[in-house]
Amino acid sequence: MQIHLKAIGCRLNEAELEGWAREFKADGHQVVNDANEADLMVFNSCAVTQQAVRKSRQYIKRIQRDNPTAKIIMSGCYASLNSEEAAGALGVDLVVENKQKDQLVKIATQELNLPVMPQAATEPGESSLFQRGRQRAFIKIQDGCRYRCTFCIVTVARGDERSRTLEEIVAEINDFHQQGIQEIALTGVHVGGYGSDLDSTLYQLLETILRETDMPRIRLASVEPWDLPEHFFELFKNPRLMPHMHLPLQSGTNSVLRRMARRCKTADFKALVEQARATVPNFNITSDIIVGFPGETEQEWQESLAFIQEVGFGHLHIFSYSPRSGTKAATLANPIPEKVKKERSKILHQLAQEMKLKTLAGYVGHQVEVLWEGEGKIQADGKKRYWGYAPNYLRVAIDVDPEQKMSNQITAVTLKSVDLEGECLLAH
Ligand code: SF4
């Protein structure tokens, strides 16, 4: 069969898609990029915000319109929280909830009576990642979370923590390396909780990956800023572990963090960042901030802003709070008017951009190794521009002769200036 796989939302959804692609190919099916060519669609949905819910529904309706004969499987957080609606009103052929998604291909084969033709399976050859224009593989290391941050629906949709075994993860990484992938990002719901159900830890996992694989570049996707083992940052002395962490702070004042039921106070967060910066040169910290959380007074806002400025971040993802039904925060009193949320978001975006450009400017003149991604774009001067990331996840661009192929190459470059428009560094 011709199968099209699509995910929206988090990197974990993307990592799961890659796992299903490999399994379907092993059963002799073909993974296709064009949804209109597919006999079977697999959609990994998202429900982190109301907007994500809308997008999930719209995507299903669109594929039903554009490819009415295709069978549709829906998984992911929206499907898990609204399985009846997905199977009923939306009329998908099969709903696989998050707790069963590791078995999705088996369940689909049984329930939809899919043919299994391992003899037709093609050599893994070119990774379907490359076919989808990607050079970085997301590796799912664990699922679920034991915490209950009051704004978070993910912990509800994905359930308790469960970790993949060290052996499984190492085997998958070595597979990707054999297929030519040079960079991976370890992802999960509560990455710091890896191994809590296996008597293991994230530290042990990273040590094992560094010892038992030759993957040149290893990244961590988003990691909650707690439950990190002692001496954690010592691991980054190995140059294969990229010196960047995305540590969601969410708010810069303890009274709001308390209403969010976050496990990290501002002093703990600051201590963690200082430890990282003291242990590893050029360590880049990025974060998530929610503005306009219920009850956020002007004073709390000012405290939060001051703390964010004091810590300093290479990049910020800024979210205006939107109530998510099914979460505790959606029932909290004193919602912040949209106008005020907009103002605060604007101010924080300005600060975030200042901090980002200051961070970038600090690297002009440095030599770094960049993994170039994507197909490149012809510029006005006829040169082809490629983008990639430095080890500490700063975005870098380079202009080369149009016939030069850079995709999936790692090259050492000198950072010559800041491209204000592209908010990246220019290299030569
Ligand atoms: S730790 Fe993260 S995944 Fe867990 S409840 Fe909080 S925000 Fe959600």
The per-residue pLDDT for 122 is: 54
Q: Which residue, chain included where needed, has tokens 């076919």?
A: 131
Token couple for 331: 């029932």
pLDDT at residue 374 above 90?
Answer: no
Are the C-beta atoms of residues 41 and 70 closer than 8 Å to each other?
yes
Residues 195 and 205: their CA atoms lie apart, in Å, by 8
Q: Are 374 and 406 in contact (CB under 8 A)?
A: no
Residue 223 CA, ligand 1 centroid: distance in Å: 10
CA of 288 to the centre of ligand 1 (A): 12
For residue 263, the ligand 1 atom closest to its alpha carbon is: 1
Number of residues written out for the chain: 428
Segment 51-63, tens digit of pLDDT: 899 999 999 999 9
Q: Best substitution site from 148, 152, 324 to test ligand 1's pocket, by max atoms within 8 Å of Cβ?
A: 152
Mutation probe of ligand 1 site: the residue of 10, 154, 263 with most atoms within 8 A of C-beta: 154
The ranges assigned to domains in the chain are 2-122, 128-360, 367-427
Q: Which two tokens stand for residue 381?
A: 């001067």
Helix axes 202-212, 166-178, angle to 10 degrees: 40
Q: Residue whose CA is closest, atom 6 of ligand 1?
A: 149
Find the mean pLDDT for residues 102-115.
Answer: 94
State the pTM of this model. Answer: 0.92
Average of per-residue pLDDT values in the chain = 93
Query: What number does the ligand 1 atom closest to the CA of 189 have?
Result: 3
Pocket residues: Cβ below 6 A from ligand 1: 145, 147-149, 152, 154-155, 189-190, 224
Distance 193 CA to ligand 1 centre (A): 11
Over residues 38-47, the pLDDT tens digits come to 999 999 999 9
Cα–Cα distance measured from residue 256 to residue 149, given in angstroms and rounded to the nearest whole number:
12
**pLDDT (0 to 100) of residue 126:** 52
The arrangement of secondary structure in 2-122, i.e. its CATH architecture, is 3-Layer(aba) Sandwich (3.40)
pLDDT of 425 over the 80 cut? yes
Which of 115-124, 323-332, 375-384 is least confident?
115-124
- pLDDT (tens digit per residue) in 226-259: 989 889 999 999 999 999 999 999 999 999 999 9
Instruction: State the distance from the centre of ligand 1 to the C-alpha of 162, rounded, in angstroms.
Output: 14
Across 14-18, 43-47, 113-117, least confident range: 113-117
Q: What pLDDT is recorded for position 128?
A: 61
pLDDT of 314 higher than 60: yes
For residue 134, pLDDT over 90 is answered with no
Superfamily of domain 128-360: tm_1862 like domain (3.80.30.20)
Angle, alpha carbons 400-405-407 (nearest 5°)? 105
Q: From ligand 1's centre to the CA of 410, what distance in Å?
A: 34
Averaged pLDDT for residues 267-296: 97
